[in-house]
Amino acid sequence: MTYRHIVLFRIHDDVDDNRVTEAIHRLRSLGVLPGIEAWHIELSLDTRKGRIIIEDAIFADGASFEDFRRDERHEAVAAEMATISDWWIGNYSA
């Protein structure tokens, strides 16, 4: 059974576009980590509620996801994202 992980990063209004582009690149760089079966990072086309970066991932299983969460590369990107955004997470088994 795979593990689905979806994050919506709502970028703070005062963050400039260059930092958003950099954040997208940093998030995309995590797609090479072990256990990831699919990894999509995109800027939402709908900006009515602000700029939203979408992280849509599928992991082999819950253990793979937990390994990802503890990976130092993920922790570093998450710390950076915390300075420019708020986020909402949805996880489920499929």
- Sign of the torsion formed by the C-alpha atoms of 32, 45, 8 and 5: negative
> What pLDDT, in 10s, does the model give residues 19-51?
999 999 999 999 999 999 999 999 999 999 999
What is the domain partition of the chain in residue ranges?
A: 3-93
Burial class (CB in 10 A: 0-12, 13-18, 19+), 7: buried
> What pLDDT, in 10s, does the model give residues 9-25?
999 999 999 999 999 99
Highest CATH level, class, for 3-93: alpha beta
pLDDT of residue 4: 98
Burial class (CB in 10 A: 0-12, 13-18, 19+), 8: middle
pLDDT at 94 over 90: no
